[in-house]
Amino acid sequence: MIRALLAATFVAAAPLAAAAQSADTAPAVPVLRAHVAVTSDIVRIGDLIDNAGDAAAIAIYRAPDLGTTGSLPTTQVLAALRAHQVIGVDTRGLQDISVTRSARTIEAKEIERAIASALERRNGLGEAKDLDLSFDRGVQTLQLDAGNTGALRPVSVHFDPRSSRFDVLFEIANSKGAAPTRLRFTGSAVETVEAAVLTRAIDRNEVIKASDVATERRPRAEVGRDVAVSAQVIGMQARRQLRLGQALRQSDVAKPDLVQRDQAVTIVYQAPGITLTIRGKALENGTEGDVVSVMNLQSKRTFSGTVVGRNQVAVVAPPHPSATASLPAPVALAANTAPTDPRKAESR
């Protein structure tokens, strides 16, 4: 009785096991993807749907341009799939599919920095941060195949200091085993420096104010090695007439005159134990520390003093010479005079 029951159970269970096995081996339903990213220039069936099976490697569309995204209507995709016997696709109610082509983006600024670094200190050039580059063809942001994962490596760098021309070739290694990508750039490189540039014309002997200058980068060849920055010229006096837009050099300015010719000054007369102040007149211009001629307005005497402040000249009296004993001058012997014999002197 028990054996019959077990046999009946086994017979009943056999169709169920077969049905489960059939369900496990049935192909999965293809499912449409809403967003697709590809790295090559073509779109395959396997990129668009999950569970594509043997049809996954079949190419059906051209990919968008590098770094861009395109849209495919679902009806158009289904028609392309049916042409390759891919049917019964679960669209999940999607009306269209977005397809993005992955790319490596290299910004124009990154290219400029790489070129400046390659040219740094080459044939007389300065640091990379001080180089101003101009290109024969405008440099734009580049989109490269996503497989180009290597660094911008300079393999050929040329710079002619006479013409300021450069020619730089880069290589970018490809992780997919393809040949490295080569990028070549040509143009001109000029070393620049920060300079104080006048925002208005300045007359000779005029003192430069903060509002009179702006900071700009100028070619070093234009301004020379003694270029001045704003902090070095503000409050200084122009040695000569200076024009609007001129980049200043250190030799263009000097300390401002504290004493002006023919102007009234205070003369501070200093002697040991005494200090006097008298009115005077400057006979020449002078800045702090300069020795100038001044006139005592009362005695009309002229003497020299040191400029110590605005319209102030110090005169220090020389110390009185101390009395010293007068010593007789030594008597020189003639060159041909023979020494006196002491014995002859005694006999005389």
Residue pLDDT, tens place only, 283-315: 888 888 889 899 988 888 888 889 888 889 898
Using CA atoms, how far apart are residues 138 and 246, in angstroms rounded to an integer?
30
- Structural domains in the chain, sorted by start: 31-101 (no CATH), 106-187 (no CATH), 193-254 (3.90.1210.10), 264-316 (2.30.30.760)
Residue 336 predicted with pLDDT over 60: no
Nearest CA-CA partner of 190 in 228, 209, 214, 218: 218
Using CA atoms, how far apart are residues 150 and 173, in angstroms rounded to an integer?
4
Using CA atoms, how far apart are residues 218 and 220, in angstroms rounded to an integer?
6
Q: Quick check: 305 and 315 in contact, CB under 8 A?
A: yes
Using CA atoms, how far apart are residues 39 and 65, in angstroms rounded to an integer?
11
Residue pLDDT, tens place only, 154-209: 999 999 999 999 999 999 999 888 899 999 999 999 999 999 999 999 998 899 99
Using CA atoms, how far apart are residues 30 and 62, in angstroms rounded to an integer?
21
How many C-beta atoms lie closer than 10 Å to residue 49's C-beta? 23
- Joined tokens for residue 324: 């010293």
- Read off the pTM: 0.62
Using CA atoms, how far apart are residues 148 and 66, in angstroms rounded to an integer?
12
Using CA atoms, how far apart are residues 192 and 188, in angstroms rounded to an integer?
13
- Joined tokens for residue 154: 């300079």
Q: Quick check: 133 and 174 in contact, CB under 8 A?
A: no
Nearest CA-CA partner of 119 in 88, 171, 156: 156
Q: CA geometry: angle at 340 spanning 338 and 341, to 5°? A: 120
DSSP 51: S
pLDDT-derived band at 60, boundaries 50, 70, 90: very high
Mean pLDDT lowest for which of 63-67, 107-111, 259-263, 316-320?
Answer: 316-320
Q: Identify the bridge partners of residue 133 per DSSP, sorted by sequence position.
A: 189
Whole-number pLDDT of residue 319? 65
pLDDT-derived band at 271, boundaries 50, 70, 90: confident
For 124, half-sphere exposure in the C-beta direction (CA atoms, 13 angstrom radius) is 12
